[in-house]
Structure 1
Amino acid sequence: MKVSKNVVKMLVAAGILAAANGAMAQAQGQFTVSVGANMLKPDVTSGAISAPALPNSQGDVSKDTQPVAVINYGLTDNISIESAIGTPYKHKIYGAGAITGTGQLGTVQALPAIALVQYRFFSPDAMIRPYIGLGVTYAMFQKERGSFAMTALTNPGAGTPTTFSIDNKWTYSGQLGLQINVTPKWFANVSYIKTKLSTDVHFSTGQFQHMKLDPDSYIVSVGYKF
Protein backbone atom coordinates (compact mmCIF):
# COMPACT_ATOMS: atom_id res chain seq x y z
CA MET A 1 0.00 0.00 0.00
CA LYS A 2 1.38 3.37 -0.98
CA VAL A 3 1.47 6.17 1.53
CA SER A 4 1.88 9.73 0.33
CA LYS A 5 5.00 11.66 1.25
CA ASN A 6 2.88 14.35 2.94
CA VAL A 7 1.32 11.80 5.30
CA VAL A 8 4.77 10.45 6.19
CA LYS A 9 6.05 13.97 6.85
CA MET A 10 3.04 14.70 9.06
CA LEU A 11 3.57 11.50 11.07
CA VAL A 12 7.28 12.24 11.54
CA ALA A 13 6.53 15.82 12.59
CA ALA A 14 3.89 14.62 15.06
CA GLY A 15 6.34 12.13 16.53
CA ILE A 16 9.02 14.80 16.97
CA LEU A 17 6.50 17.18 18.56
CA ALA A 18 5.27 14.48 20.95
CA ALA A 19 8.83 13.67 21.99
CA ALA A 20 9.57 17.36 22.52
CA ASN A 21 6.45 17.83 24.62
CA GLY A 22 7.36 14.78 26.67
CA ALA A 23 10.82 16.22 27.36
CA MET A 24 9.35 19.54 28.44
CA ALA A 25 6.82 17.78 30.64
CA GLN A 26 9.45 15.74 32.44
CA ALA A 27 9.81 16.97 36.04
CA GLN A 28 12.25 14.41 37.42
CA GLY A 29 15.70 15.99 37.64
CA GLN A 30 14.36 19.44 36.77
CA PHE A 31 15.29 22.64 38.59
CA THR A 32 12.89 25.57 38.82
CA VAL A 33 13.50 29.04 40.23
CA SER A 34 10.76 31.56 40.98
CA VAL A 35 10.98 35.11 42.27
CA GLY A 36 8.26 37.04 44.07
CA ALA A 37 7.12 38.36 47.43
CA ASN A 38 6.42 36.74 50.78
CA MET A 39 4.25 38.25 53.49
CA LEU A 40 5.23 36.83 56.89
CA LYS A 41 2.47 37.36 59.45
CA PRO A 42 3.01 36.13 63.04
CA ASP A 43 -0.08 34.59 64.66
CA VAL A 44 0.88 35.59 68.19
CA THR A 45 -0.20 34.04 71.46
CA SER A 46 1.80 35.89 74.07
CA GLY A 47 2.84 34.96 77.55
CA ALA A 48 3.32 37.65 80.18
CA ILE A 49 6.60 39.35 80.98
CA SER A 50 7.83 38.00 84.30
CA ALA A 51 7.80 40.14 87.48
CA PRO A 52 8.33 42.89 88.35
CA ALA A 53 6.46 43.93 85.19
CA LEU A 54 2.78 44.81 85.43
CA PRO A 55 0.74 41.55 85.51
CA ASN A 56 -0.49 40.35 82.10
CA SER A 57 2.08 42.46 80.21
CA GLN A 58 1.96 40.75 76.82
CA GLY A 59 3.31 41.44 73.35
CA ASP A 60 2.29 41.45 69.71
CA VAL A 61 4.38 41.37 66.52
CA SER A 62 3.70 43.10 63.19
CA LYS A 63 3.74 41.47 59.75
CA ASP A 64 6.27 42.25 57.02
CA THR A 65 6.65 41.60 53.29
CA GLN A 66 9.98 40.96 51.60
CA PRO A 67 11.25 39.69 48.21
CA VAL A 68 11.89 35.95 48.02
CA ALA A 69 13.47 33.44 45.63
CA VAL A 70 12.13 29.87 45.68
CA ILE A 71 14.30 27.00 44.40
CA ASN A 72 12.77 23.61 43.60
CA TYR A 73 14.18 20.29 42.38
CA GLY A 74 12.17 17.33 41.11
CA LEU A 75 13.15 14.01 42.68
CA THR A 76 10.42 12.30 40.62
CA ASP A 77 7.55 13.58 38.47
CA ASN A 78 5.47 14.06 41.62
CA ILE A 79 7.91 14.44 44.52
CA SER A 80 10.13 17.51 44.85
CA ILE A 81 12.22 19.38 47.39
CA GLU A 82 12.08 23.12 47.90
CA SER A 83 13.91 25.88 49.71
CA ALA A 84 13.69 29.67 49.74
CA ILE A 85 16.09 32.55 50.23
CA GLY A 86 15.32 36.19 50.90
CA THR A 87 16.09 39.31 52.87
CA PRO A 88 15.40 39.53 56.64
CA TYR A 89 11.84 40.29 57.74
CA LYS A 90 11.61 43.43 59.86
CA HIS A 91 9.05 43.18 62.64
CA LYS A 92 7.82 45.74 65.16
CA ILE A 93 6.92 44.62 68.67
CA TYR A 94 3.95 46.22 70.44
CA GLY A 95 2.41 45.95 73.86
CA ALA A 96 -0.68 43.78 74.38
CA GLY A 97 -2.84 42.64 77.28
CA ALA A 98 -2.40 44.99 80.25
CA ILE A 99 0.03 47.18 78.28
CA THR A 100 -2.04 47.61 75.11
CA GLY A 101 -1.63 51.15 73.79
CA THR A 102 1.88 51.68 75.15
CA GLY A 103 3.23 51.90 71.62
CA GLN A 104 6.19 50.26 69.98
CA LEU A 105 8.36 48.33 72.43
CA GLY A 106 11.07 47.26 70.04
CA THR A 107 12.09 45.83 66.67
CA VAL A 108 13.61 42.57 65.51
CA GLN A 109 14.70 40.99 62.25
CA ALA A 110 13.70 37.39 61.49
CA LEU A 111 15.54 35.23 58.97
CA PRO A 112 13.85 31.83 58.61
CA ALA A 113 15.54 29.03 56.67
CA ILE A 114 13.19 26.36 55.33
CA ALA A 115 13.45 23.02 53.53
CA LEU A 116 10.31 21.23 52.29
CA VAL A 117 9.44 17.91 50.71
CA GLN A 118 6.43 18.23 48.40
CA TYR A 119 3.95 15.99 46.65
CA ARG A 120 2.65 17.49 43.39
CA PHE A 121 -0.64 16.24 42.00
CA PHE A 122 -1.36 15.44 38.33
CA SER A 123 1.20 15.07 35.54
CA PRO A 124 4.08 17.53 35.01
CA ASP A 125 2.50 18.89 31.80
CA ALA A 126 -0.85 19.69 33.48
CA MET A 127 -1.73 23.37 33.35
CA ILE A 128 -2.69 23.47 37.04
CA ARG A 129 -0.75 21.48 39.66
CA PRO A 130 -1.77 21.71 43.32
CA TYR A 131 0.76 20.45 45.86
CA ILE A 132 1.31 19.88 49.56
CA GLY A 133 4.56 20.08 51.50
CA LEU A 134 6.07 19.32 54.88
CA GLY A 135 9.47 20.31 56.18
CA VAL A 136 11.79 21.83 58.74
CA THR A 137 12.42 25.48 59.55
CA TYR A 138 15.22 27.19 61.46
CA ALA A 139 13.96 30.52 62.80
CA MET A 140 16.81 32.94 63.47
CA PHE A 141 16.40 36.35 65.11
CA GLN A 142 18.84 39.24 64.92
CA LYS A 143 19.26 42.96 65.54
CA GLU A 144 16.85 43.09 68.48
CA ARG A 145 16.33 46.70 69.57
CA GLY A 146 14.35 47.92 72.57
CA SER A 147 12.60 51.29 72.84
CA PHE A 148 12.19 53.80 75.64
CA ALA A 149 8.72 52.33 76.25
CA MET A 150 10.27 48.90 76.86
CA THR A 151 12.70 50.35 79.41
CA ALA A 152 9.87 52.20 81.15
CA LEU A 153 7.88 48.97 81.48
CA THR A 154 10.67 46.60 82.53
CA ASN A 155 13.05 48.87 84.42
CA PRO A 156 11.28 52.11 85.40
CA GLY A 157 13.45 54.84 86.87
CA ALA A 158 16.70 53.25 85.69
CA GLY A 159 19.14 55.06 83.46
CA THR A 160 20.18 51.90 81.58
CA PRO A 161 18.06 51.05 78.52
CA THR A 162 16.59 47.54 78.46
CA THR A 163 17.93 45.23 75.79
CA PHE A 164 16.55 41.82 74.82
CA SER A 165 17.29 38.70 72.80
CA ILE A 166 15.05 36.04 71.24
CA ASP A 167 16.01 32.36 71.12
CA ASN A 168 16.63 30.82 67.70
CA LYS A 169 14.57 27.66 67.19
CA TRP A 170 14.24 24.54 65.02
CA THR A 171 10.64 23.69 64.17
CA TYR A 172 8.39 22.30 61.41
CA SER A 173 6.20 23.76 58.66
CA GLY A 174 3.31 22.62 56.45
CA GLN A 175 2.53 23.95 52.98
CA LEU A 176 -0.35 24.21 50.49
CA GLY A 177 0.39 25.48 47.01
CA LEU A 178 -0.72 25.84 43.41
CA GLN A 179 1.47 26.04 40.31
CA ILE A 180 0.01 27.33 37.04
CA ASN A 181 2.01 26.37 33.96
CA VAL A 182 1.63 29.31 31.57
CA THR A 183 4.06 27.89 28.95
CA PRO A 184 6.28 24.78 28.93
CA LYS A 185 8.97 26.87 30.65
CA TRP A 186 7.24 29.71 32.53
CA PHE A 187 4.84 29.34 35.47
CA ALA A 188 3.09 31.29 38.21
CA ASN A 189 3.00 30.03 41.77
CA VAL A 190 1.10 30.76 44.98
CA SER A 191 1.65 29.02 48.31
CA TYR A 192 0.70 29.19 51.95
CA ILE A 193 3.06 27.98 54.69
CA LYS A 194 2.14 27.53 58.34
CA THR A 195 4.99 27.24 60.83
CA LYS A 196 4.58 26.16 64.45
CA LEU A 197 7.00 28.30 66.43
CA SER A 198 7.37 28.93 70.15
CA THR A 199 10.32 30.84 71.57
CA ASP A 200 11.49 32.82 74.61
CA VAL A 201 12.43 36.46 75.01
CA HIS A 202 15.20 37.30 77.48
CA PHE A 203 15.51 40.84 78.84
CA SER A 204 18.68 42.43 80.19
CA THR A 205 16.76 43.11 83.42
CA GLY A 206 16.62 39.35 84.10
CA GLN A 207 12.96 39.08 83.07
CA PHE A 208 11.68 36.72 80.40
CA GLN A 209 8.62 36.11 78.24
CA HIS A 210 7.33 33.04 76.36
CA MET A 211 5.87 33.69 72.89
CA LYS A 212 3.99 31.50 70.43
CA LEU A 213 4.56 33.16 67.06
CA ASP A 214 3.15 30.46 64.68
CA PRO A 215 3.71 32.60 61.55
CA ASP A 216 1.69 32.40 58.33
CA SER A 217 3.55 32.90 55.04
CA TYR A 218 1.83 33.95 51.81
CA ILE A 219 4.05 33.66 48.72
CA VAL A 220 3.27 34.83 45.18
CA SER A 221 5.95 34.31 42.52
CA VAL A 222 6.75 33.84 38.84
CA GLY A 223 9.21 31.13 37.82
CA TYR A 224 11.22 29.43 35.09
CA LYS A 225 11.95 25.73 34.49
CA PHE A 226 15.53 24.80 33.59
Structure 2
Amino acid sequence: MKKTTLLSLAAVALACAASGAQAQSAGTFIARLGATQISPKVDSGDLSAPSLAGTKIDVHKDTQFTGGITYMWTDNIAIDLPIGLAFKHDVVGAGAIDGVGKLGTVKSLPITLLAQYRFFDAKSTFRPYVGAGATYARFYDTHATAALSGLTGGTPSNPTTLSMKNAGGASIQLGAAMNLGGHWTADVSVMKVFIKTTGKLSTGQTIPATLNPTAVQVGIGYAF
Protein backbone atom coordinates (compact mmCIF):
# COMPACT_ATOMS: atom_id res chain seq x y z
CA MET A 1 0.00 0.00 0.00
CA LYS A 2 2.77 2.43 0.99
CA LYS A 3 4.89 1.44 -2.02
CA THR A 4 1.92 2.05 -4.33
CA THR A 5 1.40 5.50 -2.79
CA LEU A 6 5.07 6.39 -3.33
CA LEU A 7 4.96 5.35 -6.98
CA SER A 8 1.64 7.13 -7.57
CA LEU A 9 2.96 10.42 -6.20
CA ALA A 10 6.04 10.14 -8.41
CA ALA A 11 3.83 9.58 -11.45
CA VAL A 12 1.70 12.62 -10.60
CA ALA A 13 4.80 14.76 -10.15
CA LEU A 14 6.20 13.78 -13.54
CA ALA A 15 2.91 13.97 -15.40
CA CYS A 16 1.84 17.39 -14.12
CA ALA A 17 4.98 19.39 -14.95
CA ALA A 18 4.00 22.43 -17.02
CA SER A 19 5.21 25.90 -17.88
CA GLY A 20 3.94 29.24 -16.54
CA ALA A 21 4.81 28.39 -12.96
CA GLN A 22 5.19 30.36 -9.78
CA ALA A 23 8.82 31.47 -9.53
CA GLN A 24 11.01 29.77 -6.95
CA SER A 25 12.76 33.05 -6.23
CA ALA A 26 14.53 34.46 -3.18
CA GLY A 27 12.24 34.74 -0.15
CA THR A 28 9.82 32.01 -1.28
CA PHE A 29 8.67 29.32 1.17
CA ILE A 30 7.55 25.95 -0.23
CA ALA A 31 5.57 23.56 1.99
CA ARG A 32 5.22 20.01 0.65
CA LEU A 33 3.47 16.72 1.43
CA GLY A 34 4.36 13.30 0.06
CA ALA A 35 6.05 10.05 1.01
CA THR A 36 9.55 8.81 1.74
CA GLN A 37 11.04 5.32 1.59
CA ILE A 38 14.15 4.67 3.71
CA SER A 39 16.25 1.64 2.72
CA PRO A 40 19.21 0.91 5.03
CA LYS A 41 22.30 -0.63 3.44
CA VAL A 42 23.57 -2.41 6.51
CA ASP A 43 27.16 -3.45 7.17
CA SER A 44 26.84 -5.31 10.46
CA GLY A 45 29.55 -6.20 12.92
CA ASP A 46 29.39 -9.38 15.01
CA LEU A 47 27.36 -9.71 18.19
CA SER A 48 29.74 -9.63 21.14
CA ALA A 49 30.41 -12.77 23.21
CA PRO A 50 28.89 -15.03 24.21
CA SER A 51 27.49 -15.64 20.72
CA LEU A 52 27.90 -17.76 17.61
CA ALA A 53 30.73 -16.42 15.43
CA GLY A 54 29.41 -14.31 12.57
CA THR A 55 26.12 -13.38 14.27
CA LYS A 56 24.98 -10.28 12.40
CA ILE A 57 21.84 -8.25 11.71
CA ASP A 58 20.08 -6.60 8.80
CA VAL A 59 17.48 -3.79 8.88
CA HIS A 60 14.55 -3.71 6.45
CA LYS A 61 13.20 -0.66 4.61
CA ASP A 62 10.04 1.28 5.46
CA THR A 63 7.85 3.91 3.79
CA GLN A 64 5.95 6.70 5.54
CA PHE A 65 4.02 9.87 4.74
CA THR A 66 6.35 12.85 4.99
CA GLY A 67 6.61 16.50 4.08
CA GLY A 68 8.97 19.39 4.47
CA ILE A 69 9.60 23.11 4.29
CA THR A 70 11.98 24.73 1.80
CA TYR A 71 13.11 28.35 2.05
CA MET A 72 14.67 29.97 -1.02
CA TRP A 73 17.55 31.94 0.49
CA THR A 74 18.46 33.24 -2.96
CA ASP A 75 17.19 32.37 -6.44
CA ASN A 76 19.55 29.37 -6.44
CA ILE A 77 20.32 28.52 -2.81
CA ALA A 78 17.67 26.87 -0.63
CA ILE A 79 17.44 25.60 2.95
CA ASP A 80 15.36 22.42 3.29
CA LEU A 81 13.89 20.80 6.41
CA PRO A 82 12.20 17.41 5.81
CA ILE A 83 9.39 16.59 8.27
CA GLY A 84 7.58 13.31 8.74
CA LEU A 85 6.27 10.43 10.79
CA ALA A 86 8.65 7.96 12.42
CA PHE A 87 9.78 4.98 10.36
CA LYS A 88 9.37 1.44 11.70
CA HIS A 89 12.05 -1.06 10.69
CA ASP A 90 12.26 -4.82 11.15
CA VAL A 91 15.60 -6.04 12.51
CA VAL A 92 16.37 -9.54 11.18
CA GLY A 93 19.13 -12.09 11.54
CA ALA A 94 22.05 -12.14 9.09
CA GLY A 95 25.40 -13.84 8.70
CA ALA A 96 25.56 -17.01 10.81
CA ILE A 97 21.92 -16.57 11.86
CA ASP A 98 20.53 -15.69 8.43
CA GLY A 99 17.07 -17.27 8.17
CA VAL A 100 16.05 -17.05 11.84
CA GLY A 101 13.66 -14.25 10.89
CA LYS A 102 12.71 -11.12 12.79
CA LEU A 103 14.67 -10.35 15.94
CA GLY A 104 12.85 -7.13 16.74
CA THR A 105 11.52 -3.80 15.52
CA VAL A 106 12.79 -0.26 16.01
CA LYS A 107 11.35 3.15 15.21
CA SER A 108 13.61 5.82 13.74
CA LEU A 109 12.93 9.55 13.62
CA PRO A 110 15.51 11.23 11.38
CA ILE A 111 16.03 14.98 11.76
CA THR A 112 17.74 16.45 8.69
CA LEU A 113 18.75 19.94 7.61
CA LEU A 114 20.03 20.50 4.07
CA ALA A 115 21.50 23.31 2.01
CA GLN A 116 20.59 22.98 -1.67
CA TYR A 117 21.85 24.53 -4.88
CA ARG A 118 19.10 24.73 -7.52
CA PHE A 119 20.17 25.08 -11.12
CA PHE A 120 18.65 27.26 -13.85
CA ASP A 121 16.53 30.38 -13.58
CA ALA A 122 13.98 30.85 -10.76
CA LYS A 123 11.13 30.72 -13.31
CA SER A 124 12.32 27.52 -15.02
CA THR A 125 9.85 24.65 -15.20
CA PHE A 126 12.49 22.04 -14.32
CA ARG A 127 15.12 22.74 -11.67
CA PRO A 128 17.55 19.96 -10.74
CA TYR A 129 19.43 20.45 -7.50
CA VAL A 130 22.14 19.04 -5.26
CA GLY A 131 22.10 19.20 -1.49
CA ALA A 132 24.30 18.50 1.52
CA GLY A 133 23.74 18.63 5.24
CA ALA A 134 23.46 16.55 8.39
CA THR A 135 21.06 14.01 9.87
CA TYR A 136 20.48 13.04 13.48
CA ALA A 137 18.54 9.79 13.92
CA ARG A 138 16.66 9.00 17.12
CA PHE A 139 15.98 5.29 17.63
CA TYR A 140 13.23 4.38 20.09
CA ASP A 141 10.27 2.11 20.87
CA THR A 142 12.27 -1.05 20.23
CA HIS A 143 10.64 -4.44 20.65
CA ALA A 144 12.46 -7.79 20.70
CA THR A 145 10.96 -11.10 19.60
CA ALA A 146 11.04 -14.58 21.07
CA ALA A 147 13.59 -15.48 18.38
CA LEU A 148 16.09 -13.04 19.92
CA SER A 149 15.49 -14.47 23.38
CA GLY A 150 16.02 -17.96 22.01
CA LEU A 151 19.42 -16.96 20.60
CA THR A 152 20.60 -15.16 23.72
CA GLY A 153 19.25 -17.30 26.56
CA GLY A 154 16.23 -15.21 27.45
CA THR A 155 13.14 -16.80 28.99
CA PRO A 156 9.40 -15.97 28.89
CA SER A 157 9.69 -14.55 32.39
CA ASN A 158 12.93 -12.69 31.61
CA PRO A 159 13.03 -12.00 27.85
CA THR A 160 15.99 -10.35 26.14
CA THR A 161 15.33 -6.71 25.28
CA LEU A 162 16.91 -4.53 22.60
CA SER A 163 17.90 -0.87 22.29
CA MET A 164 19.76 1.15 19.63
CA LYS A 165 22.00 4.16 20.16
CA ASN A 166 20.98 7.50 18.64
CA ALA A 167 23.45 8.68 16.01
CA GLY A 168 24.23 11.42 13.52
CA GLY A 169 26.01 11.71 10.22
CA ALA A 170 26.47 13.57 6.95
CA SER A 171 23.81 13.60 4.20
CA ILE A 172 24.05 14.25 0.46
CA GLN A 173 21.12 14.72 -1.92
CA LEU A 174 20.25 14.76 -5.60
CA GLY A 175 16.82 15.89 -6.75
CA ALA A 176 14.62 17.92 -9.05
CA ALA A 177 11.84 20.46 -8.49
CA MET A 178 9.18 20.90 -11.18
CA ASN A 179 6.85 23.87 -11.44
CA LEU A 180 3.29 22.67 -12.05
CA GLY A 181 1.68 26.06 -12.64
CA GLY A 182 0.57 28.80 -10.28
CA HIS A 183 1.88 28.17 -6.76
CA TRP A 184 2.24 24.38 -7.15
CA THR A 185 5.47 22.42 -7.42
CA ALA A 186 6.52 18.78 -7.45
CA ASP A 187 9.69 17.43 -5.92
CA VAL A 188 11.60 14.16 -6.32
CA SER A 189 14.86 13.46 -4.53
CA VAL A 190 17.30 10.75 -3.47
CA MET A 191 19.37 11.24 -0.32
CA LYS A 192 22.21 9.17 1.10
CA VAL A 193 22.90 9.33 4.84
CA PHE A 194 26.16 8.10 6.36
CA ILE A 195 25.37 6.88 9.85
CA LYS A 196 26.51 4.22 12.34
CA THR A 197 24.80 2.91 15.45
CA THR A 198 25.21 0.24 18.10
CA GLY A 199 22.55 -2.21 19.23
CA LYS A 200 22.58 -3.25 22.87
CA LEU A 201 20.86 -6.23 24.47
CA SER A 202 19.71 -6.57 28.07
CA THR A 203 22.26 -9.42 28.33
CA GLY A 204 25.04 -6.84 27.99
CA GLN A 205 25.95 -7.92 24.46
CA THR A 206 26.41 -5.28 21.77
CA ILE A 207 26.46 -5.24 17.97
CA PRO A 208 27.79 -2.35 15.85
CA ALA A 209 26.10 -1.59 12.53
CA THR A 210 26.74 0.86 9.73
CA LEU A 211 23.29 1.73 8.36
CA ASN A 212 24.01 4.22 5.51
CA PRO A 213 20.36 4.39 4.35
CA THR A 214 19.10 5.71 1.03
CA ALA A 215 15.97 7.88 1.25
CA VAL A 216 13.75 8.34 -1.82
CA GLN A 217 11.21 11.14 -1.44
CA VAL A 218 8.41 12.42 -3.65
CA GLY A 219 6.06 15.27 -2.83
CA ILE A 220 3.72 18.00 -4.01
CA GLY A 221 4.44 21.51 -2.71
CA TYR A 222 2.77 24.90 -2.47
CA ALA A 223 4.87 28.08 -2.75
CA PHE A 224 3.97 31.21 -0.82
Per-residue CA distance 1:153-198 (angstroms, 9 max, x = gap):
1225684111121110121100000011111311111000000011
Equivalent-residue separation in structure 1 for 2:120 and 2:193 (angstroms): 26
Equivalent-residue separation in structure 2 for 1:65 and 1:158 (angstroms): 32
Distance 1:213 1:219, change over 3 A: same
Per-residue CA distance 1:16-41 (angstroms, 9 max, x = gap):
xxxxx89x425101100111000011
Structure 1 segments, 4+ long, off by >3 Å, are: 156-159
Give the alignment's TM-score, normalised by structure 2: 0.88
Pair 1:141 & 2:121 matched? no
Per-residue CA distance 1:37-75 (angstroms, 9 max, x = gap):
000111111111111111101001111000001110011
Equivalent-residue separation in structure 1 for 2:107 and 2:92 (angstroms): 14
Alignment-derived partner of residue 128 in structure 2: 130
Q: Which one of 53, 56, 66 corresponds to residue 55 of structure 1?
A: 53
Structure 2 unmatched ranges of 5 or more: 1-19
Distance 1:156 1:69, change over 3 A: closer
Q: Which amino acid aligns with 1:119?
A: Y
Provide the secondary structure at the position in 2 that maps to 1:125. Answer: coil
Alignment-derived partner of residue 99 in structure 2: 101
Equivalent-residue separation in structure 2 for 1:104 and 1:26 (angstroms): 45
Kindly tell me the number of residue pairs found equivalent between the two proteins. 205
Alignment-derived partner of residue 65 in structure 2: 67
Q: Which amino acid aligns with 1:183?
A: G
Per-residue CA distance 1:88-142 (angstroms, 9 max, x = gap):
1010011000001111100000000000000000011001000000001110001
Two-structure CA RMSD over aligned residues (Å): 1.5
Q: Which amino acid aligns with 2:159?
A: P
Give the alignment's TM-score, normalised by structure 1: 0.87
Q: Which amino acid aligns with 1:138?
A: Y
Structure 1 unmatched ranges of 5 or more: 1-20
